[in-house]
Structure 1
Amino acid sequence: MSRGFVKEEDQEEAPFIPPRASLPAGVTNYVTPVGHKQLLEEREELEKERRELNIDNDKERRHATAVIDGKLNLLNERIASARVLQPGEQPKDEVRFGAKVGFKFLAGTQAGKEQTFQIVGVDEADIKARKIAFLAPLARALTGKKLGETATVPMGGKLQELKITEISYS
């Protein structure tokens, strides 16, 4: 049937499905056990939301269902590709995936200031919770370093020198 015979109000726009955190092609989707649990809980919540969808209008219900299904498809792909790494199995004296890393700024306006972050998977990253993705420039600069070593990382348009003051896995 030609589009000329379709009423405009019967045409539906494809729903916008928000993308997940970026994971470049070919990069392994590492997750911590906590991050994996969060992904599974997110899936349960979306499935529950779909089951309990209470919208009388057919068009609105189809749209809401399509959004939830789109989110579920992206989430299921992420769960299927997840490779859970146990932080406790990492070398204790070296910054690796899952490490909680403390460091001190050695120069500049933040000289002497200390910070602590945990290196986690892309879906688990949350700057407010002090968790950074293993792909972040800071995480990449710190990975492989040992206690007392320094790392140079671009921050705020400048190269910052950081000294590792703590490495722990919990």
Structure 2
Amino acid sequence: MALVPMTLRGAQKLREELEELKTNQRPRIIKAIAEAREHGDLKENAEYHAAREQQGFCEGRIQEIESKLSNAQVIDVTKLKNDGKVVFGTTVTILNLDTEEEQKYQLVGDDEADIKVGRISINSPIARGLVGKYEGDEVSIQTPGGKVDFEILKVDYLAD
């Protein structure tokens, strides 16, 4: 499996979730299963079946996170040479040349993307159109709404 780029913040959030699942959720679910078993007949025991279902979700998520972390290529952009080039993890301020609207995005991995806080996936059309370009460049990017022209105003290599 290929390495998946991830920011320091993204890797830390996954580690925290994994810790929560293993130290709190898993033991709570195991206890709930044990308590439900004490109620007798398992075939018609809704609490038992609900707890088993929760256990399945929990174990599945633990495996998913462990897999993601084992295949993660954690990138700390603050350790990269800031030459104004747009790369994974950088925070880019762009100007829409048609609307004069300024936007600021951090280019992150798929799991970390959250447009509400300005984090876009490295695989999004805008990110793909910006990667490899430099501060001051003008780029034309095919978006779902059509072709849009942007100017790259600033490229920051900031900590998350």
Classify the TM-score, shorter chain.
Answer: 0.7 to 0.9
2:11 paired with 1:36: yes
CA distances 1:98-119 after superposition (whole Å, capped 9, x unpaired): 1100000112xxx211000001
2:92 paired with 1:98: no
Partner of 2:40: none
Structure 1 residue runs without a partner (length 5+): 1-25
Output the amino acid matched with 1:134. I
Given candidates 27, 33, 43, the residue that maps to 1:51 is 27
Which deviates the most, 30-39 or 42-51? 42-51
Regions of 4+ moved over 6 Å: none
> Matched residues in 2 for 1:66 and 1:115: separation?
41
> Matched residues in 2 for 1:120 and 1:148: separation?
21
CA contact (8 A) 2:136 2:151 kept: yes
CA-atom RMSD, angstroms?
1.5
Task: Give how far 1:124 is off.
Answer: 1.1
Output the amino acid matched with 1:100. T
CA contact (8 A) 1:90 1:96 kept: no
TM-score, normalised to structure 1's length? 0.78
| Alpha carbons of structure 1 residues 90 and 151: separation in structure 2 relative to 1, 3 Å | farther
Output the amino acid matched with 2:55. T
Task: Tell me the secondary structure at the aligned position of residue 70 of structure 1.
Answer: helix
- Identity among equivalent positions (%) equals 28
Task: Give how far 1:27 is off.
Answer: 4.9
Which deviates the most, 149-158 or 67-76? 149-158
TM-score, normalised to structure 2's length? 0.82
Task: Give how far 1:83 is off.
Answer: 0.6
2:158 paired with 1:167: no
CA distances 1:9-43 after superposition (whole Å, capped 9, x unpaired): xxxxxxxxxxxxxxxxx653001111110110111
Partner of 1:21: none
Task: Tell me the secondary structure at the aligned position of residue 154 of structure 1.
Answer: strand
2:70 paired with 1:84: no
2:102 paired with 1:114: yes
> Matched residues in 2 for 1:112 and 1:125: separation?
24
> Matched residues in 2 for 1:161 and 1:149: separation?
11
CA distances 1:16-74 after superposition (whole Å, capped 9, x unpaired): xxxxxxxxxx6530011111101101111222211122533322221111111111111
